[in-house]
Chains A and B, each alone.
Chain A
Amino acid sequence: MYSDLLHALPDVFSLANFAAVVIGVISGIVVGAMPGLSATMAISVLVPFTFGLEPLVALGLMAGIYNGAMYGGAIPAVLLRIPGTPAAVATTFDGYPMAQKGEGGFALQVAVVSSAFGGIASAFALMLLAPPLSKVTLLFGPSEVFWVAIFGLASIIFLLGGNPVKGLISACFGVFVSVVGSDPIYGNDRFTFGQLEMLDGINIVILLVGLYALPPVIDLLETPLKTSGVQSSKLGTEPIWKALPRMKTYWTTWLRGSFIGIWIGILPGAGGSMAAFMSYNEARRTSKTPETWGEGEPEGVAAAEVANNADTASALIPALTLGIPGTAVAAVMLGGLLVHGLQPGPMLFRDNPDIVFGFMWQFLFGAILLIILGGSLATNSFARLLNLPRPLLGSVIIVLMLIGVYSIHGRMFDVYLMLGFGAVGWVMDRLKFPLPPVVLGLILGGFAEENLRLALRIGRGDPMVLFQNTTSLILVALTVAVIVGPSLKKRFIDKKKVDDDAAG
């Protein structure tokens, strides 16, 4: 089972494949460092350009960007108290106070080492868990896949945080988009308005580019040319090898944060920001000096950054084994695999072991490279990126988006479609509707519909077929837990508070 893993290693070290990871990590850090630009957005803009590349080059770029962006988000979080990516919000709590005290450099060094630690742990989790899981996925027939999709939709709506009603509306929009195109069973046209281009449904990459890239680009264009810059004085410029000994007490935080991040990554729906918050809270709760947290405690930066990188590779475990992505980034990466004719699922491990295991190695090396590229070489230069005029960046990205989307099928129709989704995305963004449920609604909605109908055909119309085996029942129980859990917890905590007040 694991021999394929070693067999894939030499390919990863070929010049082009390795260079792809290096370039990916660097551009990931840049993207992450720019407030508003996220890993999801960078990868979705990139996917159309990878058609012509070798699969491992394309995947290496994605793995690098994902790892890089999760750290890059810490740079403005520490220096400007603006999280570069949503996952870096928890990093601002202690990172920014550290920068105020003149320890910004050390904060970034803690962030980079923690990020790398989380990424490495996550890559190992992917390598160890995915191959055996790919063997049991044959157990997942249509009714089980239907429940996985429903579970994923429920968790993205109820666990994402924020307002579940807005989440539900976003998800419904995504599910609606999934209905466009040929009916999966009979092939009747639905909502295509006679357009041949719509018969295959809405390509996920088009939706992603519109939804994730256009709103931040509009924000970038709106920013004044000169924004608050960064002075070098905020960075302590100590070489990283001198800083490392100061971090040796963070081991438990790193291990705990990695575990949390990996677990959150595997669960569909949640993601980096939730992992970072949970890890931060847990670390503070168990700390001997909780009073220093929020005042510039380096361990707080470590806790947040280790967790938001630990969910990167593990988010791909359900995506690669079942073909069901649990997060928006995993969905984009699956899109990247499909572009190269690689169908995720158990057959991927059998038919293309070198690519799928090579991809896992690339995640590992991406995480390791983070220390070298992000830490010792370039923290200073990356920090200066924040002085770039934002509108300039926005106009470059918009050109890339247009070319990329056009190149998918070579038709303008897709470009208009993307701009349309961009407009919807911008409005949703302004009204604070979450975007990830739209993406997962499109993907999981399609899965749910198709597999529900297949399952019902297998059961010859009897809905009990959906509850006939253990795997299905477990998934049903999990779904119920996800839906009822948060409100029960809230009620319980509120009650306890009232009791405490009464006692006091």
Chain B
Amino acid sequence: MLNIVKKTALAGALILSAGAALAQYPEKPIEVIVGYSAGGGTDVMARTAAPFIEKYLGEGASLVVKNMPGASGQIGVTEAANADPDGYTLGTFNLPGMMARTIDREADYDRDSFTYLANVVNDPNVIVTSKKSGLDTLDKLIAEATENPLAITVGMSSLGGDDHFALIKLQNATETEFTIVPFKGSAPARTALLGGHVAMGILNISEVAEFQDQLNVLGVATNERSEFAPDLPTFKEQGLDLVNGSMRGFIAPAGLPEDVQGKLIDAFTQMANDQEFLDAMAATANPVEVVTGEEFKALTSDLYDLAKDVWDTTPWN
């Protein structure tokens, strides 16, 4: 008996929500699933962006950030991929990590599981060396690596992350080999660099911005100089074609209704030009580079192909 009541209620609710989707989106709070704990880089991005998305969606839209940490973000992104594609569940998305997870382990999602909304942050990689190593220019570093393969130890935050891909690109471009020392996160890697326990490190610019006196920062992996460190030359300026970074953005489950998708992408595009938003992101050391919709999807695909290539030649586990 109770079951029948439940079922009727459920059916009623479904009809109601279907009706809601037909009416003006959004009709109820939108949940944003963050795959990391509160206070981390991805969480800060989501919470900083939320009020601006609300503003540009208009009509009293409200975004609720829900943290589902665990398994390097895999738990959260899986939840978002498998949610109803009604526009009321969004998720954060990290590149190349989320794609690398589909390669190095079994994941319940792939690159076609998502509607790509917008990538918001692009935190470029930097190469740093410890003061103790004496390798204070890129030329010295490459010369040493060429002369003594595997002699230089490289601290980074994990295998299969953006730092790792940057190193692979460096190795391929310069035909050198390094010894990888994957710490558990970038903070311990940076501490080991400060103490001179590893010679070189690949980190992100937001992580070394405050440490430029205590480490040699050799260059940044962007096309143009970063506003966080305008004096820091790019690798391209130094004759090395190396562009790489850690990206964070927003996705929804695949199969989002087109009008909903359009509205959301519009909101993200408008947010990208909002000076107040840009200031808020700069204050939290998040370099903004907004890429929306199809372009974001293509970017993800490129990164997947790169990761797959790397995996096929040099699997990291």
Interface members, chain A 400-417 (any B CB < 8 Å):
409
Check A200–B317 contact: CB distance below 8 A: no
Q: Which residues of B have CB within 8 Å of A457?
A: 153, 179-181
User: Residues of B within 8 Å of A, CB-based: how many?
Assistant: 37
**A454 in contact with B181 given A138-B195, A189-B105 (CB within 8 Å):** yes
The complex places the Cα of A340 from the Cα of B37 at a distance, in Å, of 10
Interface members, chain B 207-254 (any A CB < 8 Å):
none
Among listed A100-108, A179-187, A367-375, interface-contacting one: A179-187
B11 close to A (CB within 8 Å): no
**A341 in contact with B198 given A185-B159, A187-B317, A196-B78 (CB within 8 Å):** no
Specify the chain B residue showing the minimal Cβ separation from A323.
B188
Interface members, chain B 173-210 (any A CB < 8 Å):
179-184, 187-188, 190-192, 194-198
The complex places the Cα of A183 from the Cα of B160 at a distance, in Å, of 13
The complex places the Cα of A196 from the Cα of B196 at a distance, in Å, of 36
The complex places the Cα of A457 from the Cα of B150 at a distance, in Å, of 11
Specify the chain A residue showing the minimal Cβ separation from B66.
A410
Interface centre among B38, B153, B191 (most CB of A within 10 A): B191
The complex places the Cα of A142 from the Cα of B198 at a distance, in Å, of 10
Partner of A182, one of B68, B71, B190, B195: B71
- Using a Cβ cutoff of 8 Å, how many contacts connect chains A and B? 77
Q: Which residues of A have CB within 8 Å of B160?
A: 187
Distance in Å: Cβ of B198 to nearest Cβ of chain A: 6
Specify the chain B residue showing the minimal Cβ separation from A140.
B195
The complex places the Cα of A297 from the Cα of B159 at a distance, in Å, of 62
**A141 in contact with B195 given A182-B71, A189-B105, A458-B153 (CB within 8 Å):** yes
The complex places the Cα of A96 from the Cα of B149 at a distance, in Å, of 71
Partner of A450, one of B184, B196, B317: B184
Check B70–A200 contact: CB distance below 8 A: yes
Check A454–B183 contact: CB distance below 8 A: yes
User: Residues of A within 8 Å of B, CB-based: how many?
Assistant: 29
The complex places the Cα of A199 from the Cα of B104 at a distance, in Å, of 14
Interface members, chain B 156-181 (any A CB < 8 Å):
158-160, 179-181
Interface members, chain A 425-459 (any B CB < 8 Å):
450, 454, 457-458
Partner of A200, one of B71, B78, B191: B71
The complex places the Cα of A189 from the Cα of B74 at a distance, in Å, of 13
Check A409–B153 contact: CB distance below 8 A: no
Q: Which residues of B have CB within 8 Å of A196?
A: 70-71, 74-75, 78
Check B317–A186 contact: CB distance below 8 A: yes
Check B70–A187 contact: CB distance below 8 A: no
**A187 in contact with B187 given A458-B197, A458-B198 (CB within 8 Å):** no
Which residues of chain B have a CB within 8 Å of any CB of chain A?
Answer: 37-40, 68-72, 74-75, 78, 104-105, 150, 153, 158-160, 179-184, 187-188, 190-192, 194-198, 316-317
A-B contact pairs, 13 of them (CB 8 A): A141-B195, A142-B181, A187-B72, A187-B105, A188-B317, A196-B70, A196-B78, A409-B69, A450-B184, A457-B153, A457-B180, A458-B153, A460-B179
